[in-house]
Amino acid sequence: MSDQHSLHSFETRAIHAGNTADPQTGAVVPPIYQVSTYKQDGVGGLRGGYEYSRSANPTRTALEENLAAIEGGRRGLAFASGLAAEDCLLRTLLRPGDHVVIPNDAYGGTFRLFAKVVERWGVDFSVANTSDPAAVRASVTDRTKVIWVETPSNPLLGITDIAAVADIARTAGAKLVVDNTFASPYLQQPIALGADVVVHSLTKYMGGHSDVVGGGLIAADAELGEELAYHQNAMGAVAGPFDAWLVLRGIKTLPVRMDRHSENATRVAEMLTQHAKVTEVLYPGLPEHPGHEIAAKQMRAFGGMVSFRVQGGEQAAVEVCNRAKLFTLGESLGGVESLIEHPGRMTHASVVGSALEVPADLVRLSVGIEAVDDLLADLQQALG
C-alpha cells in the first residue's frame, strides 16, 4: 500500500488510490491501455517497467495499487476471474503432500477447484466448520499449509472469527486466506485481523454493475506479494485492461453502494422473519444469527446477501425463484440490481452429494440498491 494513501479514510482511498492523473493529458481517470506491447528505448530500455501486458499493464497497475490500498495490504494483484486468482494462490502456496482446511459451506467453485483439480496434484484437504475455532484447530495437521475462510460464507452466511482463526494458523505455521467477496473491504478488513492473503471475486461488489468478470489477491506481506506476482506472470491469467478499468470505476462507489445494500438487506431479512412461509432466515445482521456478535465486532455493517428457507421443500423454493419479478433470476451477486437464485440447482450444484451440500429448500438473495419497498413487495408476492 502506498504511503501516500495510508492515512486517508477508506472512502478517499477507494476514489484516489491508483488513480493518478494522466501525465500527458491530465485526464483524471486512468486511460484504458488497450495494448499488448511497449516501445523500448534501446534494448532493455523500458518506460516505467512496461514491456508486455501479461507482465504488466498501466491500467491493471492502477487497479492493483487500489486493491492493496483499500484492503490494507502490501501487494494487490488482478486476475481474469476469482477462480484464476485462487488457482494462482494455491499453486504458489502448496506442494504435493500439503494439506488445506476449507469451510464446510464454501463457494461451490472453490470446492470444485479443491476436489477436482488441486487434489489431483497430491494436495489433501479437510472440511471444517470454520465458525467454530475448535473445529478448525482439530482439523489442522502437521502438513497443513493453508486455512481457507469465507466470512460471510456463500450461501449460508456463516461467520468466522478471523482473529481467532488467524491465531490458529500462526500456531500451525499455516497461511490464513480469507475470501472477502461477500463483505468487501469496505465492510471488513481481514488483513488487519491477521489474514495473510485476501481473495476477491472482483465480479461481485467490487465491480458492482454485473458487467465485468475479475479476481483479486491482496497479500499482507511484500515478499509473498512478490512470489504471487511471479506466478501471476508465469501462469498468465491476468485481468485485461478494460476489465481492470471497469473494476477500478466500480470501486469508487463501493462505500455508498455497500451502505445501501446493507440497509436494504436488513429490511428484507426482517420482513422474511415475519413471513409465515419462511422457516429460517440467514443474515448476520439479525440478533438471533449465531455469528451476529462476531460479525458486529469485525464488520462495519452486515452486507447485502440474505438466504432463507421455505416451507414445502425444494419445489417450493424453486417456485419462489420463478415467481420473482423485480428480483432477477440469475447466478452471481453484488450488482446494483437484485438477484434471486436456488443454490442447490444453480451456484452450488457442484457440491451436491458432498459435505458442503446446501439445503434443497434454500433461496439466496443478492439484495440490490433499488427502493426497498419495491423489493419487499416483490418477495411477498413471490412467496405467495
Report which secondary-structure segment, H or E, holds 69.
helix 58-71
- Catalytic (active site) residue 60: no
Q: Other C-beta atoms within 10 Å of 268: how many?
A: 23
For cell 476514489, what's the residue? 15
- Catalytic (active site) residue 179: yes
- Strands (DSSP E) contained in 84-170 are 99-103, 124-128, 144-150
Which one of the listed residues 60, 204, 249, 257 is annotated catalytic?
A: 204
- How many Cα atoms sit within 13 Å of 333 on the Cβ side? 26
- Catalytic (active site) residue 361: no
Which one of the listed residues 87, 179, 361, 378 is annotated catalytic?
A: 179
- Catalytic (active site) residue 132: no
Strand 328-329 to strand 362-366: parallel, antiparallel, or no bridges (unpaired)? Answer: unpaired
What are the grid coordinates assigned to 211, written together? 458487467
- Report CA-CA distances (Å) from 248 to 31, 65, 179, 258: 11, 10, 19, 16
How far apart are the C-alpha atoms of 237 and 382, rounded to whole Å? 40
Give the phi and the psi of residue 37 in degrees, each rounded to 5. Answer: -140, 170
How far apart are the C-alpha atoms of 61 and 244, rounded to whole Å? 9
For cell 486517508, what's the residue? 8
Active site residues: 54, 107, 179, 204
